[in-house]
Amino acid sequence: MKESIESFAELRRRQAGAFSREQAIAHGISDKVMQGRCRARQLQRVHSGVYADFTGPLPWSTRMWAAWLACGPGAALTGATALRAYGVGGDLDDRIHLAVPHSRRVGRRFGVVVSRHRDLSSLLHPTRDPPAVRLEVAVLIAAAAETDVARRAAILLDACRQRRTTPARLSAELHSLPELKGRRVLRRILTDAAEGVQSFLEQTYLRRVERAHGLPRARRQVRVVDGGSVVYRDSEYTPYDVIVELDGRAGHTDSLSRWRDMTRDNAAATTGKVTLRFGYQVVSEPCRAASQVAATLHLHGWPGHPHPCSTSCPLAPPQPAATRAGVDGRFTGMGLGFLDCNSQKFRIESEPCPVPTLITTRSK
């Protein structure tokens, strides 16, 4: 009897205080005893046939175990719940997401989202307890469940940034989920991630600023050793010594982070490099950001020209430099086109050149 009590106590500890009616009966605890303990407020009923060995608010781990026990054999953690169980951080759905075989029907339970999958066993991790889909499957399912593309990108890129998986592994796993909705969008995000993009802000810069306006291709996540420590620069236009750093809210809101960024920018400046910093204005004003980056690149020798991303883009298309006669009787040479960051208009400036002098020689 003592061994049974100790075994049941260990089971409850492993399951964060949750247990099922079947588990209690298997350890010699009758329905009558459980009902009495519920009346005495020593237990609380979580779902039909599932209890917790304490009263008060239920922590997430207890709710997770209770939901899995309530859904019976064959259920597995999936989506945001599986990611949380794997320790992947982020702003994830707090509800409990479970997957069951397609042949099963599970009733609704408060705070529990149940999805049915064909060939669920092929998606499971071999050793997780409770059972859970593989990490890459969980990432893809959680991302596909989001209606906002920005949220989808955040989930995929956060998993890669935290070094929990790679874009290549996610892309390979995507082929095993032919019925997953939004596959084309997910594949496009993973393509960006494979180029070194690690956040939604970086993806927005790559697509809406750099590519959309014809800027040169930057190197992503450039590893630099500064003062004995390793830092990573978001984007660097190496031939032109221009660095672009993207500061989202996460990781850049405290004083220490701001001072660290200043130190990094100053260190780059000592080597002749200039750093441009952008926040979420690359989302709301990508054309303005492109104007400033292009102007800086021109100052550092970029020979190209940006192009407008749409008919409403304030960036004018590149114009050929013209030779004209000035009012002072001098000609102007070939102009250098660049972007005015204040007016966001493409203009041409040139250096005046003197009127050529005709030199003749008189024959003797």
Average pLDDT over residues 98-107: 91
Phi, psi angles (nearest 5°) of residue 348: -120, 130
12 exposed, middle or buried (CB, 10 Å; 0-12, 13-18, 19+)?
buried
Does this model's pTM top 0.95?
Answer: no
Q: So what's the pLDDT on residue 336?
A: 39
Residue 115 or residue 192, greater confidence: 115
**SS3 (DSSP) at 174:** helix
CA distance 70 to 22: 11
The string of pLDDT tens digits covering residues 138-184 is 999 999 999 888 788 889 988 988 889 999 999 999 998 988 999 99
pLDDT reading at 83 higher than 90: yes
The string of pLDDT tens digits covering residues 16-67 is 999 999 999 999 999 999 999 999 999 999 999 999 999 999 999 999 999 9
Among 150-154, 230-234, 267-271, 354-358, which is the least confidently predicted range? 354-358
Q: So what's the pLDDT on residue 147?
A: 87
Chain-wide mean pLDDT for the chain?
82
The string of pLDDT tens digits covering residues 86-96 is 998 777 888 99
The pLDDT-based confidence of 358 (bands split at 50, 70, 90) is: very low
Residue 315 or residue 43, greater confidence: 43
Q: Single out the residue of 107, 282, 155, 151 nearest to residue 211, CA to CA.
A: 282
DSSP secondary structure, 146-166, as one string: -SSHHHHHHHHHHHHHTTS--
CA distance 126 to 130: 11
Q: So what's the pLDDT on residue 352?
A: 43
The pLDDT-based confidence of 318 (bands split at 50, 70, 90) is: low
Average pLDDT over residues 238-249: 83
Q: So what's the pLDDT on residue 243?
A: 92
The pLDDT-based confidence of 234 (bands split at 50, 70, 90) is: confident
* Long-range contact set of residues 164-172: C-beta below 8 Å, sequence gap at least 24: 164/86, 164/87, 164/88, 164/135, 165/135, 165/136, 165/139, 167/191, 167/193, 167/194, 168/194, 169/136, 170/136, 170/139, 170/140, 172/136
CA distance 273 to 271: 6
Average pLDDT over residues 312-337: 52
Pairing of strands 274-278, 242-246: parallel
Q: Single out the residue of 138, 132, 134, 60 nearest to residue 96, CA to CA.
A: 60
CA distance 339 to 345: 6
The string of pLDDT tens digits covering residues 187-210 is 988 988 887 777 778 888 999 999
Q: How far is CA 250 from the centre of its chain?
A: 11
Residue 220, H or E segment: strand 219-226
How many percent of the chain have pLDDT more than 90? 52
Tokens of 202: 């970086």
8 A C-beta contact, residue 246 and residue 281: no
CA distance 127 to 287: 50
Tokens of 318: 């590149």
pLDDT reading at 267 higher than 90: no
8 A C-beta contact, residue 332 and residue 324: yes
Q: So what's the pLDDT on residue 240?
A: 94
pLDDT reading at 321 higher than 60: no
DSSP secondary structure, 243-262, as one string: EEEE--STTSSSHHHHHHHH
The pLDDT-based confidence of 100 (bands split at 50, 70, 90) is: very high
Q: Which residues on neighbouring strands pair with residue 232, listed in sequence order?
A: 223
